[in-house]
C-alpha cells in the first residue's frame, strides 16, 4: 500500500484532506483487504484507488502452515515476477492482545547477495531490493488474517530474505510506517533488524535516533571460521564488526543480540565456546544460540547434546545467553531456510 501514491491521488482529484485519514484508518486500523471494504469513502474515490493504487503490491502465490500450527509462511509474488517469503511465528507467551505474541519475519530483498554458506536465500542469488511498500504489505497481509481471529501483530523482525542494510533507506522507511501512530503503531522496541555485519550500515543505524533492536549474525568466534561461513567477514572482520557494535551501544545504550547457528564440527566445539566467551564480555552483549536447519549437504546439524554443552559453557562463564526456539522447520520457514521458490 503506497501512502505517497494515495496522497498524490487525493491532491490531483481535489478530495478533502480528511479523506486521507479515512483511507489510513481503513488500511491500518480496520485492515481492509479491498478499497470497497472502506465504507465511508465515496464511490468515485474507491474507483480511482482500485485503478491507480492497488491495495497490495504483492500477490500471495503460495501459503504454508507448520504441523504444530505455531508458524505459517507466505510466498509472495511481486508485480515484476520476483518472489519473497514472509513468516508468521506464533509464540506461546501472552502478547498485548491477550493471546500468544505474533511475530512477522519479513524479507527486505528478493534473494540475497551475501552468499552465507548456511543460508538457502544466498544460495539462490540476488534479484533486487524490496520497496518500503512491499515490506509493509508483507505485514499487512498477516494483520488482516489475525484480525479475523481477534489477534494482532505484536512484533516485526527483519530476519527474512536479504540483507537489510544493503537496502538501508527502504528499511528505515518501512520501520517508520510500522511505528507511526497513523500507520501500524507498533512500538520501536518490538521491531528488530538483523544484519550479517555491514559495518557502515550499523554505524548509520546508530545515528538514526530510533529504538528498534539490532541483531548481528555472528555464527563464528574467529575470522578463520567466519570467513568460511560468511564472505562478508573478509570486508568486515570480527574486530571491525565489534567496534561498530560498540559505537552503536555508545550512541544508543541498547542491548545487541548476537545470533549464533550451531553447526556440527565447524563452530560448536568447546574451544569455539571459549573463544566466543572472550568476545562476549560487554554488558550489553546477548547471544542467541540457534539450531542450524539443514540447507547445504556440506553442513550438518549439531547434536542435541553438543548444543546443550555449548549453551552450558556460555552460561557458566556468565555470558548473557538464550537458546532461540525454532519455528516452521517443517515448512522451510526457519532460520536460513527461505529460498523464495515455489515448492
| Length reported for the chain | 343
The confidence band for 97, taking pLDDT boundaries of 50, 70 and 90, is very low
- Any idea which residues carry the catalytic annotation? 85, 335
- Which DSSP letter does residue 106 get? -
Q: By three-state DSSP, how is residue 331 classified? A: helix
pLDDT digits (tens, 9 = 90+) for 24-41: 999 999 999 999 999 999
Residue 280 is placed in which grid cell?
A: 562476549
Residue 315 is placed in which grid cell?
A: 552460561
Q: Cα angle vertex 316, ends 312, 318, to 5°?
A: 120
Residue 287 is placed in which grid cell?
A: 547471544
- Report the alpha-carbon distance of residue 115 to residue 19 in Å, rounded: 46
pLDDT at position 335 is 78
* pTM for this predicted structure: 0.93
The confidence band for 333, taking pLDDT boundaries of 50, 70 and 90, is low
CB atoms within 10 A of CB 24: 16
- Report the alpha-carbon distance of residue 92 to residue 69 in Å, rounded: 11
Residue 248 is placed in which grid cell?
A: 552503536
pLDDT at position 257 is 97
- Rg, Å, the chain Cα set: 21
Whether residue 160 has pLDDT greater than 90: yes
Domains and CATH numbers, the chain: 3-52 (no CATH), 58-331 (3.20.20.70)
pLDDT at position 99 is 62
Sign of CA dihedral 105, 108, 110, 116: negative
- The number of angstroms, rounded, from the C-alpha of 238 to the middle of its chain's C-alpha atoms is 23
Phi-psi map region of 15: left, alpha, beta (phi>0 left; psi -120 to 50 alpha): beta
What is the mean pLDDT of the segment spanning 41-46?
Answer: 95
Q: By three-state DSSP, how is residue 81 classified? A: coil
pLDDT at position 23 is 95
- Report the alpha-carbon distance of residue 92 to residue 259 in Å, rounded: 22
Residue 317 is placed in which grid cell?
A: 562463564
Residue 245 is placed in which grid cell?
A: 557494535
pLDDT at position 328 is 67
CB atoms within 10 A of CB 287: 23
Percentage of the chain exceeding pLDDT 90? 82
- The residues near 113 (Cβ < 8 Å, ≥ 6 apart) are 122, 125, 126, 163, 166
**Mean pLDDT of all residues in the chain?**
92
The confidence band for 135, taking pLDDT boundaries of 50, 70 and 90, is very high
CB atoms within 10 A of CB 123: 16
- Report the alpha-carbon distance of residue 46 to residue 55 in Å, rounded: 11
- Spatial contact of 257 and 323, defined as CB atoms under 8 Å apart: no
pLDDT at position 329 is 74
Whether residue 117 has pLDDT greater than 80: yes
Residue 269 is placed in which grid cell?
A: 566445539
pLDDT digits (tens, 9 = 90+) for 146-157: 999 899 999 999
The confidence band for 84, taking pLDDT boundaries of 50, 70 and 90, is very high
pLDDT digits (tens, 9 = 90+) for 61-73: 988 877 678 889 9
Residue entry with cell 545487541: 256
Amino acid at each position: 500500500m503506497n501512502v505517497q501514491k494515495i496522497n498524490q491521488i487525493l491532491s490531483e482529484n481535489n478530495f478533502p484532506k480528511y479523506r486521507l485519514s479515512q483511507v489510513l484508518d481503513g488500511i491500518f486500523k480496520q485492515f481492509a483487504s479491498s478499497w470497497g471494504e472502506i465504507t465511508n469513502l465515496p464511490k468515485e474515490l474507491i474507483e480511482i484507488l482500485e485503478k491507480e493504487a492497488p491495495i497490495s503490491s504483492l500477490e500471495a502465490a503460495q501459503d504454508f502452515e507448520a504441523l504444530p500450527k505455531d508458524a505459517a509462511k507466505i510466498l509472495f509474488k511481486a508485480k515484476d515476477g520476483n518472489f519473497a517469503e514472509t513468516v508468521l511465528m506464533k509464540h506461546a507467551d501472552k502478547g498485548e492482545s491477550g493471546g500468544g505474541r505474533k511475530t512477522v519475519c519479513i524479507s527486505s530483498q528478493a534473494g540475497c547477495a551475501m552468499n552465507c554458506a548456511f543460508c538457502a536465500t544466498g544460495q539462490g542469488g540476488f534479484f533486487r531490493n524490496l520497496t518500503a511498500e512491499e515490506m509493509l504489505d508483507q505485514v499487512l497481509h498477516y494483520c488482516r488474517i489475525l484480525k479475523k481471529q481477534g489477534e494482532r501483530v505484536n512484533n516485526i523482525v527483519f530476519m527474512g530474505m536479504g540483507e537489510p542494510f544493503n537496502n538501508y533507506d527502504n528499511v528505515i522507511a518501512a520501520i517508520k510506517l510500522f511505528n507511526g501512530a497513523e500507520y501500524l503503531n507498533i512500538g520501536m522496541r518490538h521491531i528488530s533488524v538483523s544484519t550479517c555485519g555491514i559495518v557502515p550500515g550499523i554505524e548509520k543505524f546508530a545515528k538514526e535516533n530510533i529504538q528498534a533492536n539490532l541483531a548481528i549474525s555472528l555464527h563464528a568466534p574467529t575470522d578463520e571460521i567466519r570467513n568460511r561461513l560468511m564472505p562478508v567477514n573478509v570486508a568486515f572482520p570480527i574486530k571491525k564488526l565489534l567496534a561498530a557494535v560498540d559505537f552503536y551501544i555508545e550512541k544508543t545504550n541498547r542491548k545487541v543480540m548476537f545470533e549464533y547457528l550451531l553447526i556440527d564440527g565447524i563452530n560448536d566445539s568447546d574451544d569455539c565456546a571459549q573463544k566466543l566467551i572472550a568476545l562476549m564480555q560487554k554488558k550489553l552483549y546477548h547471544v542467541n544460540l540457534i539450531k542450524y536447519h539443514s540447507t547445504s549437504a556440506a553442513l550438518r546439524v549439531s547434536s542435541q547434546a553438543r548444543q546443550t554443552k555449548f549453551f552450558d559453557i556460555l552460561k557458566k562463564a556468565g555470558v548473557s545467553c538464550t537458546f532461540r526456539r525454532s519455528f516452521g522447520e517443517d515448512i522451510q520457514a526457519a532460520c536460513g531456510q527461505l529460498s523464495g521458490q515455489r515448492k
